[in-house]
Amino acid sequence: EQVGVVIVGAGPAGLVLGNLLLDRGVDCVILERRARAAVEGRARAGFLAAHSVRVLTDNGLAAGLRARGRTHATCLFRGDRGEFTLDYGRLGRGEVHTVYPQQELVRDLVAEYLRRGGELWFGQEVEEISAGRVRVRGGQDVTGRYVAGCDGHRGVARRALIAQGTRTSRWDHGVSWLAVLAEAPPSMAAVGYALHERGFAGHMARTASVTRYYLQCPRGTDPAEWSEDRIWTELATRMRTAEFGPLRQGPVLEKAVVDLRSDVLESPGAGRLWLAGDAAGLISPSAAKGANLAVLQAELLAHALTEALTRGDETGLARYAADALPRVWRAHEFSHWMSGLLHGPADDGAEARYGRALQYARLESLRTSRTHQDYFAENYTGI
């Protein structure tokens, strides 16, 4: 017996895709390696672009984020020459972000998928994918007319495609972030980016009682080296609290090191295997685009798979790469630009001084040029 689409992975990509397919009458099954509680408890991104909110709203998936999400329309930059706020909701296309913790979105998507009658099996690890056949560790094979690889960056789908000869383009930004989740109310209205010669520090308001912080750290840093004390002291230094006022502190709930790397698969699918989300490429977190690209790709793939399965028309699938990649690359271009804005050179030679001066010239341009601000706003919120 063969299902329409076997979806591997119940992250944002797989769950949005599954919900959209069910809505269009396409039968599918989702196989997820981890337990439901683990999937629903994983705190990750939280920034939804206007496009993502539109996709979720148009498909009946936005009740939770409408009720509990918060709108962000400003961000703040801080450096050794003061601070300024960009009111990006009034610049560019006038779009804003909706901040809604990803685990809550995932919870909503799981609940809605099950309510629509979808099949979702947790604790099922896919070992191998070949020609529509998905092998589950210690279980039975599942065969689909198509397989959607939504199993993240280290998943089997990506590996299978690369083994077939698909190439990747890759960039290592050379820096890492200590990502901290603190049980502390936000200290700024929304997002704050601090440039400092000791490295970048970031503040992202999440909820009334939880805030995410980032500290640039050397590659290979062990999070255990960072005690709560050291985290708050370093944040205070880089965020220049002596000048701008203290941060509201609280217990650290989670800390992890993220390496800033990006890559894009040249072609996100072929034949019966099609990829969406992190499986199709990784984007550095510097502009919070990851989850939004996952939603975009799930939306495009849902349309293409529906056409293929209900009308036998594979032209949408053939066009999937051409439709998705230009938008994916726009996001990468901006994310790369943003990374250059946030991270100065680490050492103190002549080249480092040059690099730092460029960093500040870029920031100064953003502070003073309305054209530059419009460009920023359009790309910061756009997908």
Which residue numbers are catalytic?
A: 72, 193, 285, 289, 380
Pairing of strands 133-136, 126-130: antiparallel
Residues 113-142, interacting with ligand APR (CB under 6 A): 125-126
Taking CB under 6 A as the rule, does residue 45 contact ligand APR? yes
Taking CB under 6 A as the rule, does residue 18 contact ligand APR? no
* Residue of 9, 13, 51 lying closest to 277 (CA atoms): 13
Output b/e per residue, 83-94; b: 16+ Cβ within 10 A.
Answer: beebebbebbee
Taking CB under 6 A as the rule, does residue 150 contact ligand APR? yes
- Here's the x/- map for ligand APR, 291-320, by CB under 6 A: it reads as x--x--------------------------
Among residues 20, 29, 32, 217, the one that binds ligand APR under rule CB under 6 A: 32
Choose between 14 and 344: whose C-beta lies nearer to ligand APR. 14
Taking CB under 6 A as the rule, does residue 155 contact ligand APR? yes
Choose between 127 and 197: whose C-beta lies nearer to ligand APR. 127
Q: Is 125 helix (H, G, I), strand (E, B) or coil?
A: coil
CB count in 10 Å sphere of residue 297: 29
Among residues 22, 26, 31, 160, the one that binds ligand APR under rule CB under 6 A: 31
Output b/e per residue, 125-152; b: 16+ Cβ within 10 A.
Answer: bbeebeebebebeeeeebebbbbbbbbb
d(CA 305, CA 276): 12
Choose between 178 and 239: whose C-beta lies nearer to ligand APR. 178
Taking CB under 6 A as the rule, does residue 51 contact ligand APR? no
Among residues 40, 112, 151, 299, the one that binds ligand APR under rule CB under 6 A: 151
Q: How much is the CA Rg of the chain, to the nearest whole Å?
A: 21
Rounded to the nearest 10°, the torsion over CA 100, 19, 120, 128 is: -100
Alpha-helical regions (H) of the chain: 12-23, 36-41, 50-58, 63-68, 102-115, 156-163, 228-238, 241-244, 290-311, 315-342, 350-368, 370-381
* Residue of 43, 4, 39, 9 lying closest to 298 (CA atoms): 9
- Here's the x/- map for ligand APR, 67-106, by CB under 6 A: it reads as -----------------------------------x----
**In this structure, what are the phi and psi dihedrals at residue 148, rounded to the nearest 5 degrees?**
-105, 115
Minimal distance, residue 137 CB to ligand APR, in Å: 8
Taking CB under 6 A as the rule, does residue 40 contact ligand APR? no
Query: Which stretch in 147-155, 198-206, 247-255, 260-268 sits in contact with ligand APR by CB under 6 A?
Result: 147-155
Query: Which stretch in 3-11, 264-272, 305-313, 352-360 sits in contact with ligand APR by CB under 6 A?
Result: 3-11
Residues 267-286, interacting with ligand APR (CB under 6 A): 277-279
Total of residues contacting ligand APR (CB under 6 A): 28
Choose between 44 and 107: whose C-beta lies nearer to ligand APR. 44
Residues pairing with 270 in the sheet: 273
Among residues 3, 6, 7, 10, the one that binds ligand APR under rule CB under 6 A: 10
Taking CB under 6 A as the rule, does residue 44 contact ligand APR? yes
All residues at 6 or more sequence positions from 279 whose CB lies less than 8 Å from its CB, including other chains: 9, 13, 149, 150, 151, 152, 153, 155, 157, 158
| Residues forming the site for ligand APR (CB under 6 A) | 8-14, 31-34, 39, 44-45, 102, 125-126, 150-152, 155-156, 277-279, 290-291, 294
